[in-house]
Every structure is written in C-alpha cells, then in structure tokens.
Amino acid sequence: MNKPVLKILFVCMGNICRSPTADGVLKKKISILELAHRVHIDSAGTHNFHPNSPPDERTQRHALKRGYDLSGLRARAVTDTDFEEFDLLLTMDWDNRALLEERCPPKYQHKIRGFTEFLQSTQATTIPDPYYGGDPDFELVLDLVEEASEGLIQTVIKKIST
C-alpha cells in the first residue's frame, strides 16, 4: 500500500534563485532514491516579481554544472492555498519566514520552517540571496542547498515511512 505523498514548498523572495535551486536539487535527490512518486516538491516566492519566468540564468548555469537542470521551473508567488496544501513550507531567510508567518492562518503556522534547520554540519541560519552577487555566491547557495537537502531527505524518509 502506498503511503500518502509528502508535499514540500521552498520559498524565497522572487522564486528565481534560491527556492528553484532547492526545488531542483531535492527533486533530483528524491528521484535517485526512487521516491519521486511519494514526495511532491515545488517552489514559490513571497513577492510576485517574476511571474512565470525561468530561474535566473546564473542560477541555472551553476546548477547545471552540478547536474541539476532547472530550465523547466517557472516562478510563481505563494498563494493562500499553499498553506493548506503543503506539509512543509521551507523558507530561505528570516524575511521570507516573517512574510509567510504574517500571511499564514494560525492553524498552519507549524508547517513553516527554515530550510537551514536541515543543515547537517554547516552553521548557517539563512541561505543568502545570491542575486546581487557573483559566482561564489551562487556556488555557496548550491553548497548549502545540497547539504540541507541531505538532512531534509532523512526527515522525508521518516515521515513517509510512518
């Protein structure tokens, strides 16, 4: 018997750098584990700056060098139904979290968490926005997202096994 699907939404500001990176990285890692049919992954932004746009070109380029194809992703804003639909809403920084918490109905507040909570060894409290930075900033985002994804996968496996 198939267990219910776990739904995860990654959230940053514009949904063109950090959250699509997390979306693409986790999708690939979950697919390798043959769990894609059990985990639904999406990403969104707290702001609707880039509706239906692909991820930032630099984000795509750096991700592709590590084997993550983000070209099929499109930016969207968080919707009110996301709070009900998703099991986890994982934010990239404190501003994203505050904006989500402000909009979120009280009964769904427990679903909002910081993505860095899943880091296994790196001591970071946010995934920094690389948009105004250079190549090292995009590489740092990938490093943090890959590490946090590994920690998140442990939680995912526990949740879908119960």
**Is 129 among the residues known to form the active site?**
yes
- Cβ neighbours, 10 Å, residue 13: 21
Q: Is 133 exposed, middle or buried (0-12, 13-18, 19+ CB in 10 A)?
A: middle
**Is 66 among the residues known to form the active site?**
no
**Is 18 among the residues known to form the active site?**
yes
The amino acid at 99: L
C-beta separation of 151 from 22 below 8 A: no
Vertex 12, ends 8 and 14: CA angle to 5°? 125
Place of tokens 């084997």: 67
The values of phi and psi at residue 90, to 5°, are -105, 115
C-alpha–C-alpha distance, residues 67 and 28, integer Å: 9
Q: Which of 12, 42, 56, 93 is catalytic?
A: 12
Q: Which of 18, 38, 76, 97 is catalytic?
A: 18
Q: Which of 61, 95, 129, 135 is catalytic?
A: 129
Q: Enumerate the active-site residues.
A: 12, 18, 129
